[in-house]
Amino acid sequence: MYGQAKDSNLTSSYDVPKNYQADRQRNAERLGHAGLIPFVCLAAAQLMVAPERVESVQVALHIYSVVIMNFVAGSLWSQSLQHAARRHDTTVQTFSILLSLLSWLTFLIDVHMGLLVMAVAFGVLRLFEREFSHAWRVPRWYEQLRDRLTVVVACSLILVVVTL
């Protein structure tokens, strides 16, 4: 039966439908790309709105980037807890919290500098994730997806900063 271990050993394999992995990948890609919509649209919108609305668009992009950073950084906790027997789980959790705090602190600085800090933070987060992907047995397709998403996010944020 789906989701139930074949025996009482919790580390045993599970019965999953044949298309489960493909569905999981497809859903992750769809949701990941959907999450890019606000980044791309807000970056483009700041070039098209009336001058008095530009700052509002930039603030909206800044807020969204902080929310997404906290979501992704928080997902590191789940990964580290699933792999608690591995070394560095405290490092991962600490890094996750520090990135979340850093992202919220960017609200205390100029929005343009905040967007630049966020672009760099997304890159640093991705590099950090890559350090643990092998130990966490992250599928290659997910690694590639995270790379693409991070590039689009960072480029969207940097585009806003350089077009000021």
CA distance 38 to 68: 11
- Tally of structural domains, the chain: 1
Tell me the percentage of the chain whose pLDDT exceeds 90: 67
CA distances (Å), origin 42, targets 38, 61, 86, 123, 160: 6, 6, 40, 20, 9
Place 89 in a pLDDT band, splitting at 50, 70 and 90: confident
| pLDDT tens-digit readout, 50-62 | 999 999 999 999 9
Q: Report the alpha-carbon angle 28-31-32, nearest 5.
A: 80
In the chain, what are the helix, strand and coil shares in percent, each to the nearest 5? 75, 0, 20
What pLDDT, on a 0 to 100 scale, did the predictor assign at position 2? Answer: 46
Summarize pLDDT for 131-151 with one digit per residue, the tens: 888 778 889 999 999 999 999
Whether residue 73 is contained in a domain is answered as yes
Q: What is the pLDDT of residues 4-47, one digit of tens each?
A: 444 444 444 556 667 888 899 999 999 999 999 999 999 999 99
Q: Does 25 fall in a domain?
A: no
Q: Which of 129, 27, 24 is nearest to 72 (CA)?
A: 129
Q: Do residues 46 and 163 make contact, with C-beta atoms less than 8 angstroms apart?
A: yes
Q: Which positions ≥6 away from 29 have C-beta within 8 Å?
A: 145
Quick: pLDDT tens for 98-133.
999 999 999 999 999 999 999 999 999 999 999 888
- The pLDDT-based confidence of 81 (bands split at 50, 70, 90) is confident
| Predicted pLDDT at 10 | 41
Helix (H) or strand (E) holding 164: none
Q: Is residue 151 in a domain?
A: yes
The verdict on residue 22 lying in a domain is no
Say what the pTM is: 0.84
Q: Is residue 12 part of a domain?
A: no
Is residue 8, in this structure, part of any structural domain at all? no
Give the pLDDT confidence score for residue 101 in this predicted structure. 97
14/83: higher pLDDT? 83
Q: Which domain holds residue 91?
A: 37-162
| 120: in domain | yes
Q: Is residue 20 part of a domain?
A: no
